[in-house]
Chains A and B, each alone.
Chain A
Amino acid sequence: MKVQISNGMFMALIINMIYAKAIGVTQGSMAREVGGDIWISTLIATIQGGVIMFLVILVIRRMPEGDLIDQAARLLGKWFGKFVALITFLFFLAAYGPVMSTFVFHLKDYFLPEAPILLFIIAAFLLGTYAIYFGVEVIARMALIGVFSIIALNILLMFGSLSEFDIRELRPTFQMGFLRTVWASRHHNTDWAMATIMAGIILPMVADKKTWGKMGFAGIGYGMVFIIMWPILEAGVLSPETAAQYIVSCMQMARSAQIGYFVHRYEMIMIAFFALSILTQIMMSLLCASVAMQKMLGLKDYRKVIIPTAIILSSFGYWINFDKNRAVDFLEGWWVYISIGVAVGLPFLILVMGFLFKKKLKKEIVAEEVK
């Protein structure tokens, strides 16, 4: 029987896929460009993310049994499908760099400064391969629990930092100008890009096709609600200047948050709640890359390529993060162009192709239904 996940699980996957990097690493990058307007940039990026998600859902809906790669193969043949699979694989290969940066920066910088980077890469490799072996359903269930831990994390952080909040730090708005604020939103768009391409791969496994759109937008909406608190608090509590000085500004905020005497160092609790989100990113990147690799090689089961795919992704993750400057450069430079380029370009290309080869696609759909 084909694996199916519920619509709630799909929503949870979207939320988790965005959350881990968006609340800290992304905010730090945006703060360096637009200061206190990071929350406006976040909102703008969410709208853009919604548009890309809409595009992906539109594409998959045409033939709900196939993902982006299958759609491409149906439209222009096997080799075009393989080409799209290669693009998808490269996308998740590139995504693994920032994902591992988020993982390593949080754990290494704040808890285990002396531990070698390889240790984190191996841990992610082991956890990721173990989880994706059981398929998307297990990851989706973890993501569902992850949503509850995100809620707990947000509530605790609010308790710990609201007393320090100064609304004046958020004023005046559009300090750096409207266009720069919009431009800075590209950093958060990279997070949405991961969620939307992931949706392009897993949507056919989501049970209720009628509510895909609704659930996709609900996921975006909730993701925004859970994330938006962070730039507002980071600007209002830490001040935009301080937030801009840290690569992982959320950890700095958690460090300064004080809930009580015995929880005076809050970041460990934060990490506990945040872990499921970053693990979802790791697992989904590995899963989607494995599916792309499987389709590239024309295999029946992605499980056969889990280990080689994970080795390739982990090697890249290690190479990127071995040098912190390289990691930050990639995160704020190359990754932005790769992710947005693929996330916008790929669904758009397949959508346009769909219009051009409407008749062929219809025939394919009818043949599929007859089967």
Chain B
Amino acid sequence: MTAVEEKDHFFRDLQDNENLMTEILGSSVDLVKRRITFHEHKNVQAICYYTDGLVDVIQIELFISDLLYKGNWLLQHTTLPTGPPLTLLKEHMLTNASFQVVKEVSQAVDGILSGVAVLILDGSDEVFVIQTKGWEKRGVDEPQTEQVVRGPRDGFTESIRTNTALVRRRIRDPKLRIEQMNIGKRSKTDVNIAYIEDIVKEGLVEEVKKRLRDIKIDAILESGYIEELIEDAPRSPFTTVQSTERPDKVASSILEGRVAIFVDNTPFVLVVPSFFWQFLQASDDYYSRFMTGSFFRAIRYLAFVLSLTLTSIYVMLVSFHQEMIPTQLILTIASGREVVPFPVLLEALLMEISFELMREAGLRMPKPVGQAAVSIVGSLVIGQAAVQAGIVSPFMVIIVALTGIASFAIPNYAASFSIRLIRFPLLIAAGTLGLLGFSAMFTLLAIHALTLRSFGESYLAPATPFQPNDQKDSIIRFPWWKMQMRPEGVTGDEKRVGDHQFPEPPNTDPYSKEGGKGKEEDQKDGSRKKKTRRIIKLKGEDEE
């Protein structure tokens, strides 16, 4: 049992407290102990503890100077009510924005290790915990894994408070709740959960909190730890918790009734519950025009299908069902395969694994050395050289390259990796049992996906269970003036877009029946619009 567990309350005597703290904290160079003596009143002594590097030094200096000079002056020149020194200090001298009084040693120690300053005063068994957090932070930068053409360029950082602030900037709703938790026996990582009180589905917040509270682990170093410990299907290749670096994505998820989980020291925020189709949707879909957004979303769906099945279908057709391929095409494929010594399945596996190797190498190697070298070697392995060497056929190169490109079109990295992973059993099944193997494995995957749930919600919703209203934001995205309701599952305030949001410009056609008048609403209270119309009319007359 540690000293903290043995004795969790401070002594009144400063020396005893100092001994206790020395016993608990030991002698690390970054743990600073600063003894302060009030010169004119030597009977008042204090010790300030903080961790160098985690605190804002200027704040500490200001705080100590307040204590030493301002406090000293105040004590000499004003008549203060008598009482415990801690109360005097609290009520009359300390001007810090945030501080609290604690009694437990463990709480004070946790505070010191997380970047606050702890002031222990002689004669008091309570101590001050003063917020002085201030460590080096990375600036808000563009997310590395989820880039957009149109949309905000800010991404989450490693600081949890910056991250919650980025979301709070987007949702200035008093109903947005951000709750604090600490997870990890040794790391005591700050974890925040965010949701909108009158939108979030009933019971979801409690379920999230319960799952987080149930985590018993020594340290949480990244949100991936939490993801693995709270997900519904830990043995599944499908990821059932969405992670994102984009504050706008998190904000929109919260507005759709979901819960965001922020973890300190990582720019990846988790969103629950998650649905499979979300992983194929990008932020751009909502920022660009609905037709463009829908088109590119459809392209991504196609990319998903290609990435998952193209190689398998090719192997299946060439190995077992040649009659399904048009004669001219099969002749071309056969001539290309003439010099290849391997069966199609092996050829495909070789190419797929080479591709994965290159992707992994490109990711791990240092930028200045890696990327050019990998791309040169890559073009040799998956290219003309490999074909000329007789290792692979030109058709296989095209198939594997297309599959690879398709997998990169999937916006979520985790989902893209899952899809790449499940491609292999599908490929082996198709290459060994033809259509039967392919369809059996595909069906197994489908059954498995159908059984999945994410925080009680069906993973494949809104496709199954089929939710008609949510189809407006599934394969194609309807325009915003059509997506009036929040997704199903939201409770309370279900409406997100008001009525009559279809934009109608003023009618400027003088020959129309309405005689240059706009819609009914405009006629009722649209003095500004009427004016605009008149101006446009006059302009038109001028031009004539």
Interface SS of chain B = helix
Cα A23 to Cα B267 in complex, Å, equals 55
The reply to whether A111 and B434 contact each other, CB–CB distance below 8 Å, is: yes
Cα A107 to Cα B437 in complex, Å, equals 11
The reply to whether A268 and B447 contact each other, CB–CB distance below 8 Å, is: no
Number of chain A interface residues as a range: 20 to 34
Cα A272 to Cα B444 in complex, Å, equals 14
The reply to whether B460 and A111 contact each other, CB–CB distance below 8 Å, is: no
Q: List the one stretch of A44-52, A126-134, A335-343 in contact with chain B.
A: A126-134
Let me know if B332 is at the binding interface, CB within 8 A. no
Cα A123 to Cα B439 in complex, Å, equals 10
Q: List the one stretch of A139-147, A162-170, A291-299 in contact with chain B.
A: A139-147
Let me know if A303 is at the binding interface, CB within 8 A. no
Q: Within the complex, what minimum Cβ distance (angstroms) separates B364 from chain A? A: 37
Contacts of B463 in A (CB 8 A): 145
The reply to whether A138 and B444 contact each other, CB–CB distance below 8 Å, is: no
| Option from B326, B434, B444, B447 in Cβ contact (under 8 Å) with A112 | B434
Cα A145 to Cα B463 in complex, Å, equals 8
The answer to whether residues A120 and B436 also contact, given A130-B444, A144-B464, A275-B443 and a CB cut-off of 8 A, is yes
Let me know if A78 is at the binding interface, CB within 8 A. no
The reply to whether B320 and A112 contact each other, CB–CB distance below 8 Å, is: yes
Let me know if A209 is at the binding interface, CB within 8 A. no
Let me know if B450 is at the binding interface, CB within 8 A. yes
Q: Total A-B residue pairs with C-beta atoms closer than 8 Å?
A: 69
Let me know if A262 is at the binding interface, CB within 8 A. yes
The reply to whether A134 and B447 contact each other, CB–CB distance below 8 Å, is: yes
The reply to whether A268 and B321 contact each other, CB–CB distance below 8 Å, is: yes
B414-454 vs A, Cβ < 8 Å mask (1 yes, 0 no): 00000000000000000001111001100110110011000
Cα A8 to Cα B468 in complex, Å, equals 12
The answer to whether residues A262 and B436 also contact, given A6-B465, A141-B464, A268-B321 and a CB cut-off of 8 A, is no
Cα A201 to Cα B299 in complex, Å, equals 43
Let me know if B338 is at the binding interface, CB within 8 A. no
Q: Within the complex, what minimum Cβ distance (angstroms) separates B458 from chain A? A: 8
Q: Within the complex, what minimum Cβ distance (angstroms) separates A100 from chain B? A: 13
The answer to whether residues A141 and B433 also contact, given A261-B326, A265-B323 and a CB cut-off of 8 A, is no
Let me know if B324 is at the binding interface, CB within 8 A. yes
The reply to whether B436 and A268 contact each other, CB–CB distance below 8 Å, is: no
Let me know if A180 is at the binding interface, CB within 8 A. no
The reply to whether A115 and B450 contact each other, CB–CB distance below 8 Å, is: no
Q: Within the complex, what minimum Cβ distance (angstroms) separates A279 from chain B? A: 6
The reply to whether B451 and A138 contact each other, CB–CB distance below 8 Å, is: yes
Contacts of A275 in B (CB 8 A): 439, 443
The reply to whether B440 and A131 contact each other, CB–CB distance below 8 Å, is: no
Cα A253 to Cα B136 in complex, Å, equals 71
The answer to whether residues A127 and B436 also contact, given A111-B320, A262-B326, A268-B324 and a CB cut-off of 8 A, is no
Let me know if B466 is at the binding interface, CB within 8 A. yes
Q: Within the complex, what minimum Cβ distance (angstroms) separates B372 from chain A? A: 39
A interface list, Cβ under 8 A from B: 6, 8-9, 107, 111-112, 115, 119-120, 123, 126-127, 130-131, 134, 138, 141-142, 144-145, 261-262, 264-265, 268, 271-272, 275, 279
For the complex of A and B, the 5 pairs showing the least CB-CB separation, nearest first, are A141-B464, A123-B440, A134-B451, A131-B447, A265-B324
- What are 7 A-B residue pairs whose CB atoms fall within 8 Å in the complex? A112-B433, A115-B434, A115-B436, A134-B451, A138-B450, A145-B463, A268-B321
Could you list 19 further interchain pairs (A-B, Cβ under 8 angstroms) beyond the known A111-B320, A127-B444? Answer: A9-B465, A107-B435, A107-B436, A112-B320, A112-B435, A112-B436, A127-B440, A127-B447, A130-B447, A134-B451, A142-B446, A142-B450, A142-B464, A145-B464, A261-B326, A268-B435, A271-B439, A275-B443, A279-B443
